[in-house]
Amino acid sequence: MKTKLATALLAGLLAGMPAHAAMLAPGVPFPAWKLRDQTGAEVSSADLTGKTYLLWYYPKAMTPGCTAEGISLRDRYDDFRSLGVEILGVSFDPPDQNKRFAEEEKFPFRLLSDDGTLAIAVGAAESSDQKTAKRVSYLVGPDGKVIRAYGTVNPADHATELLADLRSAKGSGG
């Protein structure tokens, strides 16, 4: 009897808590979004209709892990472009900080500023109180659906992992 009561109490407590978004599953539509890039220009999911894109969330501009991940994507940028993939970095950093990061590291791709709203919707943040995004990535297809979600990312190896997955998908007709 005690177990049923404890379960009921826990369920009641959890019912009052906000639901945290989990990573989106492959095949589901990626939420529509509009964010500002490092120049202040608005970029939206609608702008990318018909294109495959990588949205990589990074915790903080100009930190070691984020720099390593950005450099690995930068250094393989031509490989991504040859596969028709646009790269977009996303953090909670303001556009001016992303601009400095992009300029210092010579990133050829845009860095977007999220106020946390999209991050929460896609599992890159648990709440609006979170100061930085989780290091997660999404490959989104031309139809706006998730091709692959990466909830665990090694900054140094992520570009290689992504390219292997993209080439495998192309080879299998996907």
Q: Mind listing the pLDDT tens digit for each residue in 111-158?
A: 999 999 999 999 999 988 889 999 999 999 999 999 999 998 899 999
Q: Which 3 state secondary structure label does DSSP give 53?
A: strand
Summarize pLDDT for 9-29 with one digit per residue, the tens.
Answer: 333 333 333 344 589 999 999
Pairing of strands 34-37, 42-44: antiparallel
Taking the domains of the chain in order of start, what are their residue ranges? 27-171
Q: Tell me the residue length of the chain.
A: 174
| CA 165 centroid distance within chain | 16
What's at 104, amino acid-wise? E
Q: What is the pLDDT of residues 75-100, one digit of tens each?
A: 999 999 999 999 999 999 999 999 99
Q: Is residue 1 scored above 60 in pLDDT? A: no
Q: Quick one: tokens of 21?
A: 């978004």
> Which CATH number fits the domain 27-171, given the four candidates 3.40.50.300, 2.60.40.420, 3.40.30.10, 1.20.990.10?
3.40.30.10
User: Using an 8 Å Cβ cutoff, are 125 and 131 in contact?
Assistant: no
Q: Which residues are the active-site residues?
A: 66
pTM of the predicted structure, to 2 decimals? 0.84
